[in-house]
Amino acid sequence: MRRNLPKLFGAKLIDAQDAFGQLCVGIDPHSVLLQSWGLTDSVTGLREFSLRVVEASAGLVSVIKPQVSFFERFGAKGYEVLAEATQLAHSKGLVVIADAKRGDIGTTMDAYLDAWFGEESGLFADAITVSPYLGLGATSEVFERWIAMGKGIYSLVATSNPQGESVQRATIHGHSLAADQWAQLSTLNGTKFGPYGAVLGATLDLASFEIDQSILNVPILAPGFGAQGALLGDASKIYGDMSNNVAYSVSRSVLQAGPNGIVDAIEIANRELAVGLNK
Whether the Cβ atoms of residue 131 and residue 101 lie closer than 8 Å to each other:
yes
- The contacts of residue 259 (CB under 8 Å, 6+ apart) are 37, 38, 52
How far apart CA 182 and CA 197 sit, in angstroms, is 9
Cα separation, 81 vs 72, in Å, equals 10
Q: Which of 77, 92, 101, 151 is catalytic?
A: 101
- Pick the closest to residue 278 from 235, 225, 246, 219 (CA basis): 235
Beta bridge partners of 198: 155, 220
Q: Enumerate residues 6+ apart whose C-beta is below 8 A from 115.
A: 121, 123
Instruction: State yes or no: is 101 an active-site residue.
Output: yes
Return phi, psi of residue 3, to 5°. -75, 155
Write out the catalytic residue numbers.
Answer: 101
